[in-house]
Structures are given as C-alpha cells and as structure tokens.
Structure 1
C-alpha cells in the first residue's frame, strides 16, 4: 500500500552528500512531462560541460554557497495567507489506478520543497505530490555537482541590462492613430512569448532575466538586480511587480502582445503571485515547467547564465501553444482531460477564487473540501467531449479549482467516433423537441452508441489501472455521468460495483410533455436512455421541474444550475490593450472569410453568442434586428448599431454548418440590404475573443426557442450588459425583467425590436440596467458555487452510502443542492445574498408550464384551435 499522505524525505546519505552545501534551486524535482522536453545539447550557443565555466581552478571553485536567510524569508513572507491553513496534502492513489494521472499540487508542500533544496540528499517525492516517481537528488551516479555554474548564473551580469529593441517613430505614429481614423478595436500587434528566470544571492538580491521570443528565435532580453530587503519587511512580491511592469512597458512601446510566459517551477514558489498576475492583469498564460526534464539535462541548465535560462523557458513555452495561439488541449491515456496545458498553466490562486464569492459560499465550500481531503475520496466525471459547449467549460473550471484545494477530482472523455456524435446530436434535438416531428433513432443507431460506450469502458476505464475499477483497487469513490451521451456506463458500473454512488447530471431541456406521449419519438428515446439512467442513485437537473420526465422518482431528483468561471478567459477583466488585440483578431478572421467586420468603437453593436444550433433562435435574432433597423429608419436615426452572431463549435455538434448556412440564406434572401451590417461567424476556440465581443457589446441577446439553462446570460450580466432574452428553460431564473434586462416570448421579434429601441435611445435606462446587471449575479452560477454542490454530494453520498433494502441513500426530493449543502454546513442564506429564485421549482401542471415555452406562432395556433 503506497502512502497517500505527505511526501517524506528519506534518511540522509551523508557519504553521498558530503561536499555539497547547496543545489541550484532551479534544478527542480517536478515530475517529468515529455511535452516540455528541451534538449539543449543540440544548440550551438549552449555551454558544454567542458566549457571554461566549469574550470575548477576559478575563483568560485572552493567557495561553498549556502541558502541565504533572505531566500528563506522570501518564501515565508511573500506567501499570501492560505485560506486552507489546515490543508492536508492532496490525495493520490494507492494503486495502479491513477498512476498515469498527474498528481495534485497543494500549498503546504512549498516549505517541504525548500527543505529538500537545503537537504539535497536521498530519495524525495516530488513537490507536486506525485507518488509514482521518486527522484534521486544525488543523481544516478551520486556525483558532486559543481557549485560554480550557480555562481556563474548569479554573477554573469554585474550590471543590469535593458531591452534594446524598439519600434520606429513612423510606425508608432501610424499605429497610435489607427483606431481613431478607422474606428477598429485596436491595432494589429506582434505576438511574442516570454521566458522568465531568476537566481538569488546571499545579499538579499534577486537577479531576474526576461527573454523575448517570437516563434523562431530570441528577439531581446533584459536582466535586473532587485533588492529584496524591503519586500521581506513589507511582504510584497517585488519580482511580480517588476515583471508585470516590464511586460506592459514593452508591449506598449513595441506594439506587441505576449501570449505565454515560461518559468521554472521554483520561481513560482519564490514569487507566489507572479503566475496569477500574469494571467489576470496582462492576459499572459503562465506555463510552469521543470527546467531539467532528465538528469542528463541538469548539467545544461546549471551551466547557463540567468539570461540563457530565461531563453530556454521561452522556447519551451512556445511548444505548449497551437496555431490559434491558445494552449494545446491535452487528453491523456484513458481519456483523462489534463486541463490547462497538461496542468502546466497555473492561472489562479485560492485567494483569487475566494474573491469571486461571498463568505458563506466560501466557508461552505471549504467545509466539504476538507471532508473530501480527510477521507482521501476520489471523484470521476465522464462526458462526451473535452472542448466546446457549456459542459466542457464547467468541467475545466471545476478540475482547476479542485486541484487548488487539494481535492482529487478527475474528468474523462471517450475516444471520439464522429458517426456516433451525429446520432447523439439527433437524440439531443429530439428530446428538446426541435427536430423534425417524424425523426427517430433506429435500433442500429442505438446499438452503435452501446458499442461505443462498451469499447471505451472495457479498453480504458474498467481495465487494470482504470478509474472505474473498485475503489479498493484505486478506482473512483464516486462517479458522475454527464448528459445523454454517456448513461450506458451506469449499468456497467453498477454491475461491477453496486455499492459505489453514481450520479446522473442532465444538462438539457427535456420535453417531458412529449416524453409522456406514448409512441412519440421523445418517448422512444427516453425509454432507451431511462433503461440505463434508472440505475443511477441521483438525477441532477437544471432547476426547472418540467425538465424531469414523469417516471423519474422524485426522491432521486435535485436541482443544480449551469455555471461559469469568473476567472477564465471568457469572463476575466481584459484591459484596453488586450481587448483591442482580440477585437483585431476577430476582424482579421472576418476579413479572411469575407464577412462583415466590426467598426467598434466608432459604431455600437448588438450580440448573440451561442452555438449554431436549431434551438438557439438565430432566425428570430435576424428578424428582430431587421425590425429594429426599420424603426430606426422611421425615427430618423442614422447612427445605427451592427449585429454580431457568433459562437464556437464542438466535436459532438454536427448541426453547426447547417444552421450557419440557413442563417446566411435568411440574410441573403430576405434582408440583403443588412448584410453589410451583420457579422455571422463560427469562431475557433479562443475564450478571450468571445470575452472581448461580449464585454464591449451595447446589448446582448439570447433568443432561444428551447434551452437548458444557458449560462451565457449570466456571463453577459456579469460583464454589465443589459440583456433581451426569451422566457424559456432556465433563462428567466437569471434575469430580473425590466431591472437588468427584458424577458420576451420565443419568436416575438417585434417585442425584441421595441426593447432594442429603448436601450439605444434612453441612456439612463441603459445605465440603470448596466449597474443592476454587474451587481446582481448569484454565487450559484460561479465555479465556487458549482464546486460547493459537487463537494457536498460527494461527501454526503460517501457518508450515507447507496440505498440498500430501504436503508441508506440521500433523498433529493427536488431540493436545490446548494440549499442542502448550506444547511448541512450551517451557513443559511440571508436576504442580502443574490440567489436564483426558488419559485421556479414549484411544480405546475405540465400543460401550463409547456405552453409558456411554446414559440409565439404555436401559441396562436393553440388559441385558434
């Protein structure tokens, strides 16, 4: 049995450590990641081991360097106070089950890491908590590392060096007036990558190097000596202050945009706020890497000067980004989704997340996180795709936050099979009632889904080392199945481990009225799905009772809204410089496809951000804009806004091309005079582009005809955008009519046009709604609120166990999960807190609730009948 507790230092081997007083702190012990290999031996500018720098007759050959008190104080004083002061180490598996999975980082290992650097002997479990590998700090040959390369790195630059590149005066003048003359978001910027490294001397001085790279070669570098005495006294992070200041200065002077920054693992500990500030303040993805991936590479890192170390970090950073300049999506063996570039992009801190929610939400979350850590429980989520769509966005954020808190939570996706995704999309459309009335799923297609699930389950998840092995064999303690693609796993899990809790999460609107009609396509599909779902211990639905079919036992039902992450690229604040860069990216994409470009800020615009899906009401968006333009012409308004309809795609959504073509055909056939003012784009994955478009829009629309929850509405409100939305699904829960937006019936394009006129002609109305939108979003739709619910369910289900012979089990009885968790933890809601309205979950007759969701032309037909 492998210890799942804190990593420990082995007994010191004094004979092997004799003569070594201090190891280069940047020859780190983070587990090896093949994706960040960097064999510097092939570079002509790398100092070889036989370089004169290794001459043992030099002035530093007999000098023993010991870690200064300043370094130790820097580590202890610069750490922000940890909200998880009693946090235990992140749990790791005691079996082969999760051996292929990167382990969880946690705050308390920082001091252990320092102890390791000082001891420099014996076998040591890596600071990331990975118990699958140990690293011999003496190296395989237990050789003595020369201390002189460290002295070389520190002393290479006795004086500071500034960046030497600059932009011509003519280009500066031309680029600075571009926005004013052409009315575009911002000028085109040169994309660059940054490398950062630092070494520390005994005199409380840090030598920080910044290396700037394009995708080919080194562009420029700088070196700065920073006195840390004041920082030690004041608890400031002067390294982070310096780096952020230099980045912003260089970007503005050279009309450039840094995309990513590479830094060694130990620098993250020396400058604890650097990574989060790079991400949240200057929109740079910080990639934290081990500089010497193999023991044989350690020598090359040691002999480098500090500027050469920064150069190496920049080159390694580039390898983590794809052609669209976003971090590469990493899916490991068994389909484990390795979020944030294989867990190397360290975007946020615990404190950052604490600042996004209220005290009661935070304390409740910590209550159950501590229980999960104390019991070393493992959670595993299963969904169909790692990218595109709301489910994937929620899971990325949840995994990221859970790792920060030391909760063992993993996420798996099956090996994709495109033909199956067409079938699952048909199922999705049929359940929502947006498919052709006669469309059905054949027996052969149902069997294809079963075969797909069985193949992935047997090959990856039930095999030795898989997450669905029994908990005592290293498998997950609790399993969550997302959406109608994956419920075929439920009977397989229950057959193998009947006492393991399995929760089913339904993310879509299910037309329960049509499901109840015998012989309907919806009834046929639901019978197929329910045959598997009924084995789950709990049915988790959006907080709309009509989304729950009639045959689901009410004691199994609980409510949980969809959520978003306020700190990810979709929602974080972007400064004017970065916003202009991403707006320019959007216009460049439009230009390449001969699509209408935006003239913001010269012209305002209206936006709907959604997948190109039959249920998103895109035809109503076009009709509403056309009516709005007619009213503007009638009122003599000449400064009319543009319209943007855009969204990302998903590998499990084959309808996007069809709906896009229908949208363009609608414009070309009925509104050719508006084509030059309407921008319709299917976007490549880039969260900040969506963020920029949504944050700068004057009004946001969401005119869905069928909807689950659609958290894009809350994202628009969080950005301070008044919204005009339809009263379907979970949308009305997020909007206060006539306070932060307007509710309209599906398909009512005249009402939408009228509200657009109000918001574009009444500045005081817009300002009131803008303020109400920014300040009225509930914690329940953020990542912390989402984690609160899942942590509670995992802790509670493990405590009570599955129901057996009428005993055990957790009764849902159509309660909100957040209410159950807050009550359990003793933090009841107060009147001052923003909370989604609970009256929506009071059951109404099916006919009444469904009639409200009907498109307006269908309602008229009902009245006529």
Structure 2
C-alpha cells in the first residue's frame, strides 16, 4: 500500500494543523533520524512507529527504524526492568545485568548509529547502548512507561545511562522526574485514523470480520484490548464481567497479542484461560488482527481498560475514536483521554464493584452511551491524532538539531 501523506489527514485535523506540521519541519529537511526499539509488532509503541516514521519521511526527514536483537533471556531481564520502573520490587542477578549490557554493547558496536543525526531510543530495552557509542549526535530516550513511582534500586541503576542522553520524552506531566537533571519533554501518544486499526469500516466489512471469529451480536459486547499482562489486570476484567452479567446478559471479548519482548504473556494468558473455562460467553483472541480490533471496538457497547499501571493506553483513544464509551482505571495517561462523566468513566485500580456499576449503567442507557461516545470521538480528534504527535516531535527535534 502506498505510504500515506500528511495532507490526507486534513479531513480530521484541518488545514491549519497540516500547515503547522510543514512549517515546523522546514529546519529539519534532510535530517537523518533513527528510531530504536525492541519489537516490530505488539503494543502501542510499534503501532505508533508504523505510522509516525512514514510521516516523518513525508515532511522531509530521513527517518529509519532499527530493532534491538535479543534472545528470550534478554527479554526476561528487560521485562523485570519494565516492571520495576512501574514500581514492582525486583531482584536482578549479576548475570542478568551482564547479559543486558552485553546485548546492548554488541548492538551499539555493529549498528550504523553514527550515520544518523539524531537517535531516538524507546523504553528500557536499548537504553544502555548509548554507553557504547562515541558521541557524534544527540540522543533522546523516549520512555513510554509510567515511571512516576519506580523501584528505587532499579531506577538508580538505570539513571546513569539516562544522564548520558540529551533529552527525555515521557507521555504525561505525572511522569516527569524531579531527580532527573535532563531536559524532559511531554509528548502524549496518538492514534492513526487512517490505519487498518482505526479506519472507517463498512457494515459488510464489520460483519464479515466478526463472523470470521465466530463472535455473534445477539447480546451486548464488552471488550478489553490489551496484552495479557498482569499490569492490564485481565483477571480483574473477568471479575467485572461476572458482576455485570448478574444485571445484564452480555458477552466479553478479550483481545491480547503476545509481544515478542514480553515473556510473561503466556503465563498470564494461561491463568485467564483457566478462569474462562468456568464461565460462558467469553472469547479470548491472541491473533494479531488490526481489522478485528477495529470491528470489536466499533461493535462494543462498552470498552474497558482496567490497567493497574499504564504508560498511556492508546486502546482507550482507539475506542473513543469509534464513539464507544470507555470505563477505565484512573492511572497513567488514561485520565488525559477519559474525562470522567464526559468521554467515559474512571475508577481506581481494583474497584471492580465500581467498574461493574458504571458498565451496567452504560449498558442500560443507550442515550448515555451515544452522548459519551460522541464526546469521546471529538476529544480524540482534538488531542490524540497522528499529525499532533508528529508536530510535537518536530518541535522537540528542532531544539535538539
């Protein structure tokens, strides 16, 4: 498929936004930029890069993408780091730390990092590679994780690497670290309304996709789209569904792919499967199918996002864009998207009774669902679409370049 040009977003964001993007890009023509992360699919980071990188090229930047190569042992370590940055106490062995550094050193030494003017490193997996490169260009660490209350020992161990960076980018003001003396920028993530995940679907497309996965529409559907990750609280989603079903006959669909850099996924999925066997009307789907997620978010009566910690949670904006109300937890970047009582409803993590009550209320009030859904789409249109993300990045890059 031909790469999308920024002007194709005019119907969604207007001509002034697109003109502002081109104006911001002028000082950056020909800039050689490299994004580095650890997975090509699964999760919001890869999803954003699939759209952001072509758009950066469209406005005059030579943007490229490189993946940190790692074996399962590396991702066992980096998953621990991810959990620790979100506040979980973890213990790292000397061997694990050595493996983590060894892989980053090899990647840094044999990758053409010096051929680029700016390097953007995403999340903790490739964080240390900056230590193994002679500095000839600015580096940015883009952290997509909620680092508001990290585990102290791990944070102090990672901070020396972060101090080497010329800038840090986080998703929310709440994630800015007062103890980190590095220029920190706030860039909220965004969705692509033209992607397979978010584009408009015909009635026939929607029906065929749901039929492909044998998901009937004979009763209201509740949906959560997330990795099978303990931080997304899939077992809590099942508990909310149990309570809602006591008041309203409904069906639950849980979609969660297995990202290659998340070794805990199969274990969490097994726990979910075990509980689902005792329940009816629950569909578990692990295939990576953007059109299926699109169809489900459009067909759902309510989308849930019951994360215990969350960097941002783009699945919330995806659902709101499709005019589907969301009941979610008041964590991370979710409150930027869900304005309580306006674009959805917020509960505290673990408040399954409160979440069930709000989901039930929405199921029983079609007019409320329609009003909340309409306001949600407009909120996303104004704040969380790809051209705004591109513009924010261009402004940061101008400072660095």
* Band of TM-score, shorter chain: over 0.9
Q: Could you tell me which of 381, 385, 392 is aligned with 2:39?
A: 385
**What residue in structure 1 maps to residue 190 of structure 2?**
563
Structure number with the bigger relative contact order (C-alpha 8 A, sep ≥ 6) is 2
8 Å contact kept, 1:380–1:412: yes
Shift of residue 779 of structure 1? Answer: 4.2
**What residue in structure 2 maps to residue 604 of structure 1?**
220
8 Å contact kept, 2:232–2:308: yes
8 Å contact kept, 1:695–1:719: yes
8 Å contact kept, 2:74–2:99: yes
Which structure 2 residues correspond to residues 399-418 of structure 1 after superposition, within 5 A? 399-418=53-72
Give me the whole-angstrom Cα distance separating, in 2, the residues matched to 1:697 and 1:421.
34
Q: Deviations over 1:791-838 (max 9, x none)?
A: 22222221xxxxxxxxxxxxxxxxxxxxxxxxxxxxxxxxxxxxxxxx
Shift of residue 458 of structure 1? Answer: 1.6
- Cα distance change, pair 372–458 in 1 and its aligned pair in 2 (3 A): same
Matched, 1:584 2:211: yes
8 Å contact kept, 1:759–1:765: yes
Q: Which has the higher helix share?
A: 2
Give me the whole-angstrom Cα distance separating, in 1, the residues matched to 2:315 and 2:268.
19
Which structure 2 residues correspond to residues 151-190 of structure 1 after superposition, within 5 A? none
Q: Could you tell me which of 94, 103, 121 is aligned with 1:452?
A: 103
Which structure 2 residues correspond to residues 573-652 of structure 1 after superposition, within 5 A? 573-587=200-214, 598-600=215-217, 602-632=218-248, 640-652=249-261
Give me the whole-angstrom Cα distance separating, in 2, the residues matched to 1:505 and 1:348.
24
Matched, 1:676 2:280: yes
Q: Deviations over 1:631-682 (max 9, x none)?
A: 34xxxxxxx11011111221101111111111122344xxx2xx22111222
Q: Deviations over 1:554-573 (max 9, x none)?
A: x6122111222111111011
8 Å contact kept, 1:611–1:648: yes
Where structure 1 has 5 or more consecutive residues not aligned to the other structure, the ranges are 1-344, 470-474, 516-521, 588-597, 633-639, 799-865
**What residue in structure 2 maps to residue 115 of structure 1?**
none
**What residue in structure 2 maps to residue 832 of structure 1?**
none
Q: Deviations over 1:434-474 (max 9, x none)?
A: 5xx4x311121011011101112222x1xxxx2x22xxxxx
The alignment covers a number of residue pairs equal to 401
8 Å contact kept, 1:379–1:794: no
**What residue in structure 2 maps to residue 756 of structure 1?**
359
Give me the whole-angstrom Cα distance separating, in 1, the residues matched to 2:159 and 2:194.
37
Q: Could you tell me which of 309, 329, 350 is aligned with 1:706?
A: 309
**What residue in structure 1 maps to residue 323 of structure 2?**
720
Which structure 2 residues correspond to residues 233-244 of structure 1 after superposition, within 5 A? none
> What SS does the aligned partner of 1:777 have?
helix
Give me the whole-angstrom Cα distance separating, in 2, the residues matched to 1:769 and 1:525.
41
Q: Which has the larger radius of gyration?
A: 1
- Cα distance change, pair 550–349 in 1 and its aligned pair in 2 (3 A): closer
Give me the whole-angstrom Cα distance separating, in 2, the residues matched to 1:385 and 1:761.
41
Give me the whole-angstrom Cα distance separating, in 2, the residues matched to 1:568 and 1:657.
28
**What residue in structure 2 maps to residue 696 of structure 1?**
299
8 Å contact kept, 1:453–1:488: yes
8 Å contact kept, 2:109–2:132: no
**What residue in structure 1 maps to residue 345 of structure 2?**
742
**What residue in structure 1 maps to residue 171 of structure 2?**
542
**What residue in structure 2 maps to residue 484 of structure 1?**
124
8 Å contact kept, 1:544–1:729: no
Shift of residue 480 of structure 1? Answer: 0.9
What's the RMSD between the two structures over aligned residues? 1.7
Shift of residue 422 of structure 1? Answer: 1.3
Give me the whole-angstrom Cα distance separating, in 1, the residues matched to 2:314 and 2:68.
25
Where structure 2 has 5 or more consecutive residues not aligned to the other structure, the ranges are none
**What residue in structure 2 maps to residue 504 of structure 1?**
141
